Structure 1
Amino acid sequence: MPSGLGHLFLARDARRRRASSWDRSGRNADFVRVEPGQTATLADISGTGSIRHIWITIAQDEPDYLRRLVFRAYWDGETTPSVETPIGDFFGVGHARVSNFWSAPLNMVTGGGAQAGNRAAMNCFFPMPFAKSARLNLENQGSQPVRSLYYYVDYEEYGALPENALRFHAQWRRSNPTPSSVDLGDGKQDFAKTNELVNLDGKGNYVILEAAGRGHYVGCVLSVDHLNPIPNFGWFGEGDDMIYIDGEEMPSLVGTGTEDYFCAAWGYPGGHNSMPYHGISLAGPTEGPAPYSGKWTMYRFHIEDPVMFARSIRVTIEHGHANVHASDYSSVAYWYQAEPHAPFPALPPVEARLPVPDRESSRRFWKTF
């Protein structure tokens, strides 16, 4: 089942299908309403195939609705989801914000004009194969209705999947605040001193993914609200990525800093940027009186360099060098693996998912900066 620009000239044995919110009366009310506590089914597919594209846009007046609405996907009759994440984070931007960005598998296209508010068209192009069935839904865990949910789920039908076809997974996590290895508010720390700290085992790292089975990790979206800077040094990076494969005690893959894992360097001097496999989908200030404060989201997709595992994988990253920062970290990990997958940690309740208010974020940044 080859696809992509390099295979467009090849004939394919598949049939294109779509589940969407189109108005069955033929009028123009091409949306569904989702009441508080209600779950809307986006697609309930029987047979063999692969989802190839998801498009969603939402009109909801509740603040932070992108963290209140939960997206789930189930493959082949499973009872626990293979995808479970707040809807906004899944599509590449955290903190319940929208931001115009593009990448190979995910993008957001923000609306224009005052009426658009915090709204965007959100697209996903990760292939999501299934052998018997696929079920996608969106749960409204907010206190106000979703007035308009528009969606497409574009998929292909096949006679059979390859025997080595893995299933798509995505999982949201958060640590707010991340546990700091030092007290940056004691008046004794500076950048030079924190650079002397040692972290070889990664035990205090932020965990992006823990999975058991056979598969490959294909990337993440990482969101940071920088609440706890080193005095007189606003930069939140320098946290090394450490990836442990098949139960190893020391990581096979060790990086050199947060910005380096996300394919940048020397901080994020350009701020917001979009590339096919890496970028900054949401950026705060890089200069001025409070550099690198506020809310950030960055992404790294291992499309050309997936990280394979035979038994297990643990993907982690330091929150600042040697985990010195006590900030708000959240993430979505994306991976493929053979089923069954290990049960996910319980998704935190709504109140534990909401972003830190901007005023509180600023207050906490200045407290140690």
Structure 2
Amino acid sequence: THIWMTFLGPEPHPWARNGSANHQEMLLRMYWDGNPRPAVEAPVGDFFANSFGKRSEVISLPVIVEDADSYNCFWHMPFRKSARIEVVNESEKPISLLYYNIDWIKKDRIPKDTPYFYAQYRQEYPLEKGKDYVLLETQGKGHYVGTVLSVRTRSPSWFGEGDEKIYIDGEDKASIWGTGTEDYFLSAWGLKTTSTPYFGVPYFDQWGIVGGHTSAYRWHINDPLVFNKGIKVTFEHWGWISPDENAQYKSHSWNEREDDFSSVAFWYQAGEPTFKARAPHGRERALPNLDRIISAREYTADQYHGPSGAVAQNLDLYPSGHLFYKPQQQENAWIEIPFEVEKKEPKRLLLVMTHSYDYGQYQASLNGVKLGGVIDLYGHETSTREHHLLDFWPDPGKYTLRLECVGKNASSSGYYLGLESVRLRERRPRVLNWAHDKDKDWRTNPILYE
């Protein structure tokens, strides 16, 4: 009737100085009545609507993650003879300080037709072209009670024009056919971070970027999807994409996207399901790296910045810290990060930067070409954010990314700067195939697709 657990997060801690496994690397399995196939198989985080290894607060009816570190679920999980619950560590780091409590009620008997509880994780990195994404497909009798869906975008713009299509009892055409991804999750005109009893978006980092992360849940508690012979739950993966990914070199809303999807389907079913999906190993659940990373902390020497010191500072926000530049005034405050390109191919240039209460405002440029507007690094709390600058086909050669201080926010107490890395992010193969912008000069017309 109730499971509670907690453990240390992945960041270094006085009780785990080298860090710990994150909850995406911890696999939760539950077995009923001696069945060798787990009825529940999902990463701990995803089962509790916490995706990407990120800790987020969830306040809903069946799942509560209070303060992003106490994991509770209240799904009823009936069994007849035995139950086994295990957490498998698939990380190279240990699980640190795992505590748990499991509540159950012993009864003399339960009705013969009492269904079992099931939850199954699956993923596609990236989505398969020409096919809807399948969350669940099983034969038998039962009712569907919940969805957790996680999306890492690989194209600019809005990913969520795809409809849910749910097929009941073997029908050829879905009798439940929605109007868009955010509509299925009971929001409208997009998604934003929220948590309610029946639906929510625990994690949403940035709108419309290449590499944005969104996770959402919906619980069908008062509106279960009942099936007598079987059910198939799918999502289309349609949305907006940038002109350079479109054959007609246009931006519109009806394009098949190639993002990274993962999901957990929750349902009750009498007997055993026929769904064949299994959770891959923790190494394979980690999202594939899309970036060439130029670490900024390697460039603290005087030749790479203006007056005042620059140091490599360890910060829990980043595995390897960041470059921390500490100018005392705006005048002549700058940093430069050099890098080389060996092959001409489409890339997105972006910066991973720190925001804090005493940070300044900076203008970015590449080889002397101004990129975008002023980057305001002020933040009430210390946090990290990606700043996307340019979509381009860089010629082989040497490049210098420069950040020059142009002032500070009225609320900021300083002009500091924190830069974790300069990154060249992979674009989808169709950008390379269409090559709309290959021969355009980014220096005369810098473009950032949004």
TM-score (norm 2): 0.58
Q: Does the Cα contact within 8 Å between 1:100 and 1:110 map onto a contact in 2? A: yes
Match of 2:37, SS state, is: coil
**Aligned match of 1:252 in 167, 170, 175?**
175
Q: Which moved more, 1:56-65 or 1:245-254?
A: 56-65
Q: Secondary structure at the match of 1:173?
A: strand
1:261-307 CA-partner distances (Å, limit 9, x unpaired): 01111112xx1111111111111224xxx469611101111101111
Post-superposition shift, 1:353?
A: 0.3
Shift of 1:131: 1.2
CA contact (8 A) 1:90 1:332 kept: yes
Where relative contact order (Cα < 8 A, 6+ residues apart) is larger, the structure is 1
Pairing 1:84–2:41 present: yes
CA contact (8 A) 2:166 2:233 kept: yes
Q: Which residue number corresponds to residue 144 of structure 1?
A: 93
C-alpha offsets along residues 93-132 of structure 1, whole Å, 9 cap, x if unaligned? 2111110121111121236xxxxxxxx1111111101111
Give 1:262's aligned amino acid. Answer: F
Paired residue for 2:222, among 286, 304, 313?
Answer: 304
Q: Supply the distance in 1 between the matched residues of 2:278 and 2:216 (Cα, whole angstroms).
A: 24
Corresponding residue for 1:266? 189
Change (3 A) 1:311 1:301: same
Relative to structure 2, which stretch is displaced further, 357-366 or 132-141? 357-366
Aligned counterparts of 1:64 and 1:210: Cα–Cα separation in 2: 31
**Superposed structure 1 runs of 4+ greater than 2 Å apart:** 59-65, 290-293, 340-347, 355-369
User: Aligned pair 1:347/2:269, yes or no?
Assistant: no
* RMSD of equivalent CA atoms: 2.3
How far residue 143 of structure 1 moved from its aligned partner, in angstroms, is 1.5
Change (3 A) 1:323 1:161: farther
Moved more, 55-64 or 213-222: 55-64
What amino acid does structure 1 have at the position aligned with 2:283?
E
Q: Secondary structure at the match of 1:59?
A: coil
Residue 142 of structure 2 is aligned to residue 215 of structure 1: yes
Larger displacement relative to structure 2 (313-322 or 291-300):
291-300
SS of 1:346 mapped into structure 2: coil
CA distance in 2, matches of 1:108, 1:356: 27
Q: Distance in 1 between matches of 2:111 and 2:206?
A: 47
CA distance in 2, matches of 1:166, 1:147: 35
Q: Secondary structure at the match of 2:135?
A: strand
- Give the counterpart letter for 2:285 in structure 1: R
Q: How many residues align?
A: 279
Give the 3-state SS of the residue equivalent to 1:156 in structure 2. Answer: coil
> 1:45-102, CA deviations, whole angstroms, 9 ceiling, x for partnerless residues?
xxxxxxx111111226457621211101111111111001111100012111110121
Q: Secondary structure at the match of 1:89?
A: helix
2:28 to 71, 84, 95: 71
**Equivalents in 1 of 2:67, 2:129: separation in Å?**
35
* 2:70 equivalent in structure 1: 121
Q: Name the CA shift for 1:323/1:300 in 2 (closer, same or farther; >3 Å).
A: farther
What is the rounded CA distance, in whole Å, between the counterparts of 1:56 and 1:220 in structure 2?
21
Shift of 1:365: 6.6
Which range is displaced more, 352-361 or 302-311?
A: 352-361
Q: Which residue of 2 aligns with 1:331?
A: 263
**Aligned-partner SS, 1:281:** strand
CA distance in 1, matches of 2:91, 2:209: 33
Structure 2 residue matching 1:88: 3-state secondary structure: helix
Letter matched to residue 263 of structure 2: S
Q: Is contact 1:209–1:314 with CA below 8 Å preserved after alignment?
A: yes
Structure 1: state its 5+ residue gaps.
1-51, 112-119, 182-203
What secondary structure is seen at the aligned counterpart in 1 of 2:182? helix
CA contact (8 A) 1:239 1:323 kept: no
Using the alignment, how far apart are the partners of 1:345 and 1:208 within structure 2?
A: 9
2:283 alignment partner, SS class: helix
TM-score (norm. length: structure 1)? 0.70
Which of 164, 176, 180 aligns to 1:241? It is: 164
Partner of 2:212: 294
Instruction: Write the letter of the residue equivalent to 1:228.
Output: S
Residue 133 of structure 2 aligns with which residue?
Answer: 206
**Contact 2:138–2:275 (8 Å) recurs in 1:** no
Indicate how the Cα distance of structure 1 residues 105 and 357 shifts in structure 2: closer, same or farther if over 3 A, else same.
Answer: farther
Alpha-carbon distance change, 284 to 246 in structure 1, aligned in 2, over 3 angstroms: same
CA shift digits 1:19-69 (9 cap, x unpaired): xxxxxxxxxxxxxxxxxxxxxxxxxxxxxxxxx111111226457621211
Q: Structure 1 residues 358 and 274 mapped into 2: Cα distance closer, same or farther (>3 Å)?
A: farther
User: Quick one: percent identity of the two aligned structures?
Assistant: 40
